Structure 1
C-alpha cells in the first residue's frame, strides 16, 4: 500500500515585468560528498558580485575567496539537508545543501614486475593518471590507497609506470567502448534504502497539490523544505493542516522555480520535487510549445544526409582513401528539400542539430594513431576558416533559407560549434601561433588524444588538429566568441551543440554565454555540450553562466546494454535512473540518445552483429555489419527510444535511427541516409513508431516534466508512471521475447491506451496489463 500525504501550494501570481538579465540566477541544490571539499564558482550564477556575506552553519566548513569568487564547502559524514543563508549584493538568498555519505574503499596491488609508480584511476577522479598513487607504507610488498567513493558502481584501472592495466585481483570487468577494458567496483550494497517521494497531484484554481508516497517501510515526512527560486519559504508563509495538507501563500512570489524536499521519519532525504511556474501556471506544452523542455532534437551529419545539389559534390582524390572517410555529397540543399517535403514535421521533430559547416581542407590527412588511415574533413570538425561555409555543404543564402523554412514549420535549428581546436590550415593557427599549445608535453611525450584529467585542456586530437591554449591567450577567447556570435546573428540560429566541452576552460564558456545573453536578451538560445566523464565533471559546465545541458551519458551507457540484450534485466537500470534524477535534477534539459556519430550504432549491437567490446572503427573498415537480420532488433530500438521520450531531458534522434540504419563505430556509424524506395517494410514500421513516440512526447507534458515513479523494473519489464498534476501517464516496456503480464496498484479508476484509445477499467485500485514481446505501451490515467 502507498501511504499518501497531500501537500497543497496556494499560488497567487504576479507576472514578472523586468526583462533585464537577472543579476542572480537560481542556484540548484548543492550536492556535497561527506568529507570531500566542493568548490562553487559563484560567477556561474551571479553576473555581478559586489559583496558576499555567508553565515556559518553547524556541520559545514565554509570559506570564501572574495578575489576569485570561489566558495568552498566541506561537510561531515552525516546524510542531511542544510540551509546556508547568504547575502549577495544586498539580496538575501538561501542555498540548499544535500550531504551524501561516502564509502571508504582500499585499492590494493601487489607488483610482480618491479613496478614502482602505481596509480589507480577511474570515473571517480575523471581518469586522472597522477592524482591517486598507491604506496607500500608498511613495506609488506602490497601497495594501497584508500579512497572515499559513492555507494554505486565504479569503473577503474591501474596505471603501472605509465601502462594501463585492469585489476588482476578483480574478475569483474567491462568494455571501455574503445577496444579496452575497465575493472568494476560495485558499492551499491552500501546505499541506504530509498525513502518516499513527493509527487505532483493536481493543479486547480491557483492550487498546486502534491502527495507523499511512502516507501515499503511506511516511513512518513518528518521535515519539509520549500524553496522558491533562491528563497526559503519560511513557516510564516505556509501552514500544515492536521490532515497533513500544506498550504503556501504565493502572493509575493510570482513565476519561478518551486523546489520541495525534506527528511522522512528514518532521517533519510526525500528526493527533490521541482515545478517550473510560467505565466501563472505550471509549465506546459500547450501554452509554451517552443520551450526547450518539449524539444525533440534531430541530429544529422550534413554530408551524410542527402545530396540535394550534385554540382557542389567534390570528393578528395588520393590513394588509400576509403569511401567511408571521404565526402559523400550531402548538403544544405538536401536538408531544404526534406524540409519542403515535410519530412521532419511528419517525424514529429521540432528541433534540428546541424553538424559543423565551416570550410574544411581540400585534401586528406593521415591519422596519427595506428593503423594510420587517411581521412577527410567531411564531418565538419576540421575548420580552416572561422566564418565561411564549406562550398561542398552549400552557401550562406541556403543556410538562411534553411533556417527560415524550419522556423516557418516551428522547427528550431542549432549548429554544432567547434571551439576547442582548428585545422593547421586555419588562419588563426598560421597567424597567431601563440594562441595554441604545444603538441609535446614537457617530458617529450606526444600529447595526442591523451584523455587523462591532467591533459584534457591541452591535448590535441591529431598532429594536424592544434588545440587552443585559451588559458595563455585570452584574446583567442574574445575572437572565437565573436565568431560564435556571428553565426547566431547572421543565420538566426537557436543555439549550439558545443563540441569537446571538457577540453575548453570555463572562462570561454562563461564569456560566450554572457555575450549571448547580452546580444539576445529575449531569446533562450539552447546550448548542449558533449563531455565524456564523471557526473561531477559533466555538471560542472551545466549552470546559468555556461551551458543549458550536456548529453546524459550516465543513462545512455547503462541503458543501451539491457535494451540491446536478448536477456534483458532492467533491475540495475532502475538504480541508475533514481541516481540520475538526484544528480541531474528531476527536471532537466540533458540530451538522451540511442546512438551518435561517436558511438556504436544501436541496431548493430541489438542485431548481434557488433559487440560493445569491438573496436568499432576497425569493424567499420575491415568487417562491417550487414543488413539487419532480426525483426526484434527494430523493436528493441523502438523500446529504447520509448524509454528516452519518457524521462526528463531532450530526446535525440541520430539520423537514421528512425529507420534502424546499420553501422558499427566511426565512420561506419555515419553511413549515407536512405529514403523512400530504399527503405524496407521493417524500416517503415520503425519510422512510424518513432513518429508516434515523438508526437506523444510533444502532446503530453507529463513525459517531459512529470515526476517519475518506477512501478516495476525486473527482467525484461520496465513500468514507469509519470505524474504532472492533472496528467498521469503509465509507460510499459517489454524488451523480452515473451509476453509479460503486470498487475500493480493505482489510485484512479480508468486507463486509456494512448496508442489505441482503448479504455481499461481498474478494479480494487489495481490494474492488469498484458504486454506483447518487444513492445511498449502508453496509458493515460483517467
Structure 2
C-alpha cells in the first residue's frame, strides 16, 4: 500500500480570472501585474440609475481580491455607459484599506489591495449622467491571502502515472496529473480552489484509491470511500439565518456549530444599495444571542437586500450571507419550466413540415410543436396551475431544411428539430413560427407574470449559415495538425472542438469582430422579443472573453435602462468549481446545478446512495453558490428521463442512448411515481430557480436523446400521472407563496440513509420538508431549534391536515411538506 499526504496551505481565497481590457491575466504579486478577481452577485437591488418604481433586481457586487494585487473592472458594469460618452464618475468614497480610482482612458475602475492586509472594505461609487443628478452604488471588497491546496501521494512501488480526480475537475482522471516522484518518492499537485468541501481520489495507473493519510472521508456509494478536503472554514463551523422581522427591524443570527467560534462583531461589514451600513450605525449586535439587528428604515422602500461579511473569532472568513427582502418581480426563487418547442404542443398545423426522409426516425424529425402551441397553453392556464414563474423555450433560430448524418457511429440521420443547428442567427425557424408569434408568446407570458428565457446557441453555427460562409476566419479548423478530425474532443480541446462535421466552432479568442457580431445579435433578440433572460448553451466550450463582453453589454444596454436583472443561466455539465468559473458580477448570474442533478438521480431514481448523501451535496451547493442564482434540476433534454432511471429501465452503467431506438422504456412500476414525487419535494425546496423539464411533472419516460424528447402528453393521463401532476402543482403553488421555501436558510433536523427532515426559515416564516425513502412508514420525533420563532402548529400543504412534529409520521416512499401556521 502506498502512503499519501494532503496539505492545505491556508489563505482565504483562490486566484480567479476576469476580463481586463481585452485580455485575461493572472496576478503575480511579486511583479505587481494584474490579478483577475472573482465578482459575486450577492444582492437583488435597483441599479445605479433609477429604475421604474416597480423594478428591482440588479446586483450589488462583492469583489474578491488577493492581498498585494490590483484589479481592473469595466466601468460599464457600474455606470451603464463608457465614461467618454456617458455618465462620469463624480466621487468614490468610503474605502478605508483598499485604494479605488478611475482609469478614464481604459474606462475602468481600479482597485488596489495592500500587501499584508486581509479582511473587508467597501466603497461607494457615484456617477452623473447630466452633471446635475448623482446616482450611487455601494461595492464590497473582500481582501484575502493566497490559498493553495496541495495533494501528495507516495506509492509503495514504481508506478507509471498518478493523477487527482474529484469535485474540483468533474472527476476527470486525466485532467489533473500529479508531478513526481520527488526525492522522497512523493507525487504532488497544487490546486487553486474556492472555499468549499471537495471529495477526491487518486488515480494510480488507472486504479482509483482514497487518500489514506487524510482522515476526512465519506462513502463513495460503491462500497468504498472518497477523501474530503475542506478549503476555507469548514461548512459545519456555523450558518447564518434570518431569524425574525417586524415593522422596524430585521434580525439575523449566526449559529455556530459545535465547538465552533462565534462571529467577530468587530469584523462585520454590511452593505445595502448605496449604503455601507456597518459604518453608518444602522445596525446593532447582540453578541450573547449572536444576532445582528438591522433597521429597515435604512434600507429604502422597498427594502434593498443586505450583504453581510464577517470573520469568526478564530479569524476565519465566513461564507457571505444575503439577508433578502425580495420583490415578487425578481428572478431569485422563481420556478422555471423548459418547454421544448417542437415536442411541447402544436398550435398551428400550417407550419408542420417533417423532413419526409424515410431514413429519419420519427424521434429525430420535426413533430409539429410551435410557438403558437406554447402560447395556447399559456392562455389556458397550464403554467399558472403549475406555479411556473419562468418559461425557457428551446432555440428559436432557423435550422436546416434537410437532415444530416451524425459524424460519429452509428451515423444516424437527424433533423434540426431541436434548434441547435442555426443556419441563420437573424430568423426564427418557420416550423416553430414567425417573429410575431414569438413576440405574442412573450407578451402572453408577461401578462401572467411569467418571464421568458430564450436558448442562445453561441458556441457554433451550421455550415450553411452565412456568418460562417462570409467569415470562415471566425471559426476553428476541423482538421488538426496531426490529421485527426477535431470532432467532440471535449476534454482535449474544449474551446475549439466541433460538435459535428457540419457545425463550425466559433474561435472568439483573437477575433473581436466575431465577439462583437454575436453579442450584438444577442442584444437584437432581446429588443425584438422583450425576453427576460438567456439560457446559454455549452458555456465551458466558449472562451471567457465572450461571456464577460456579453454581460458588459447587457448590463449597459439592457439591465440598467430597464432597472432589472436580465437572467443569464448557463449550461456547464461539470463540477461546482468549474460551474462557478463562469459565474459572477461580470459574467453569468448562475448555472444549472448538475452536481445536485446527479445526486437526485443517485438517491431517488437509482437509490444507490442515501438521503444523508443528498443532504451533504445540497450543503456543498449552498456553500459554493453563495451570491449566485443557480438552477437545480432533476432532468433535461441531454439525459434519459428520471422515470426511465427510477423504473429500472436504465440501470447504472448502461447505455441510455441505445434504448432510444429499440425497446423504448415505459413506466411499469407505481413506485416510480413515488420516487418522482419525493424528488420533486426536494427540488422545489431548493434555492435559486429550480427547473422542470416538460413532461417530468407527469412522469413521462424516455431513454437518452432523442427518446427523452417525446411529444408532451396533456390528455388521457393515467391515475398515477394525474396524481403526480396535482402533487407537483400543489408543491409549486406553495413554493410561489412561501418565502421560507424560496429564500429561507435550511436547518437539517434528521438525516440518515432513508430519512431526511429539514426546516427552512425566512424571518419567522417556517416550512418543514420530511422525506421517507423506506418502503415502511417512518415515525420521527422532531425538535425545532430554540433560536427560531417557531409556529404553534403545522399543516400539510397537499392534504391540508394538521401535523404534530413531535410524532411526525411519514408514509413509505413519500415526502411531506409542511407550512407553519
TM-score, normalized by length of structure 2? Answer: 0.78
Q: Which moved more, 1:375-384 or 1:489-498?
A: 489-498
Distance in 2 of aligned mates of 1:776 and 1:207: 35
1:706 Cα shift? Answer: 1.0
Residue in 1 that maps onto 2:61: 27
From 77, 83, 94, the equivalent of 2:120 is: 83
Matched, 1:704 2:739: no
Q: 1:271 to 1:430 in 2, by over 3 A?
A: closer
8 Å Cα contact 2:63/2:140 also seen in 1: no
Residue in 1 that maps onto 2:645: 605
Q: Which moved more, 1:567-576 or 1:229-238?
A: 229-238
1:324 Cα shift? Answer: 2.0
Residue in 2 that maps onto 1:615: 655
User: Within 5 Å, which residues of 2 pair with 1:527-676?
Assistant: 527-566=568-607, 569-585=610-626, 588-625=628-665, 627-676=666-715
8 Å Cα contact 1:460/1:467 also seen in 2: yes
Residue in 2 that maps onto 1:310: 349
3-state SS of 1:461 partner: coil
User: Within 5 Å, which residues of 2 pair with 1:356-395?
Assistant: 356-395=395-434
Q: 1:38 to 1:349 in 2, by over 3 A?
A: farther
3-state SS of 2:385 partner: helix
1:610 Cα shift? Answer: 0.8
- Deviation track 1:252-292 (CA, whole Å, cap 9, x = no partner) reads 6534331235444566655443113xxxxx22xxxx33321
From 260, 265, 271, the equivalent of 1:228 is: 271
Q: Which moved more, 1:410-419 or 1:225-234?
A: 225-234
Distance in 2 of aligned mates of 1:338 and 1:234: 49
8 Å Cα contact 1:360/1:390 also seen in 2: yes
8 Å Cα contact 1:566/1:736 also seen in 2: no
8 Å Cα contact 1:333/1:398 also seen in 2: yes
1:709 Cα shift? Answer: 1.0
- Deviation track 1:688-746 (CA, whole Å, cap 9, x = no partner) reads 11111110111111111111111122122111111111311111122221111121222
8 Å Cα contact 1:175/1:612 also seen in 2: no
Residue in 1 that maps onto 2:130: none
3-state SS of 1:575 partner: helix
1:40 Cα shift? Answer: 8.3
Q: 1:640 to 1:588 in 2, by over 3 A?
A: farther
Distance in 1 of aligned mates of 2:178 and 2:639: 31
1:123 Cα shift? Answer: 4.6
Distance in 2 of aligned mates of 1:334 and 1:148: 48
Distance in 2 of aligned mates of 1:173 and 1:303: 43
Q: Which moved more, 1:87-96 or 1:311-320?
A: 87-96
1:499 Cα shift? Answer: 1.0
Q: 1:184 to 1:437 in 2, by over 3 A?
A: farther
Residue in 1 that maps onto 2:811: 772
1:461 Cα shift? Answer: 0.8
From 42, 50, 54, the equivalent of 1:18 is: 50
1:184 Cα shift? Answer: 7.7
TM-score, normalized by length of structure 1? Answer: 0.82
Number of residue pairs aligned between Structure 1 and Structure 2: 731
Residue in 1 that maps onto 2:14: none
Gaps of 5+ in 1: 1-12, 59-63, 277-281
Distance in 2 of aligned mates of 1:498 and 1:351: 15
3-state SS of 1:702 partner: helix
User: Within 5 Å, which residues of 2 pair with 1:317-466?
Assistant: 317-318=356-357, 320-452=359-491, 455-466=493-504
RMSD: 4.2
Residue in 2 that maps onto 1:8: none
Q: 1:694 to 1:241 in 2, by over 3 A?
A: closer
3-state SS of 2:549 partner: helix
Q: 1:100 to 1:216 in 2, by over 3 A?
A: farther
1:628 Cα shift? Answer: 0.9
3-state SS of 2:579 partner: helix
User: Within 5 Å, which residues of 2 pair with 1:292-307?
Assistant: 292-307=331-346
Distance in 1 of aligned mates of 2:358 and 2:203: 41
1:87 Cα shift? Answer: 8.2
Matched, 1:104 2:150: yes
1:412 Cα shift? Answer: 2.1
- Deviation track 1:750-782 (CA, whole Å, cap 9, x = no partner) reads 223333333346xxxx73300111222222234
- Deviation track 1:581-634 (CA, whole Å, cap 9, x = no partner) reads 12111x642111110001221111111111242222223224532x21221211
Q: Which moved more, 1:419-428 or 1:363-372?
A: 363-372
Residue in 1 that maps onto 2:11: none
User: Within 5 Å, which residues of 2 pair with 1:238-257?
Assistant: 238-240=283-285, 244=289, 246-248=292-294, 254=300, 255-257=303-305
1:390 Cα shift? Answer: 1.4
3-state SS of 1:628 partner: coil
1:514 Cα shift? Answer: 3.5
Q: 1:396 to 1:262 in 2, by over 3 A?
A: closer
- Deviation track 1:445-473 (CA, whole Å, cap 9, x = no partner) reads 43222223x63221211111011112232
3-state SS of 1:596 partner: coil
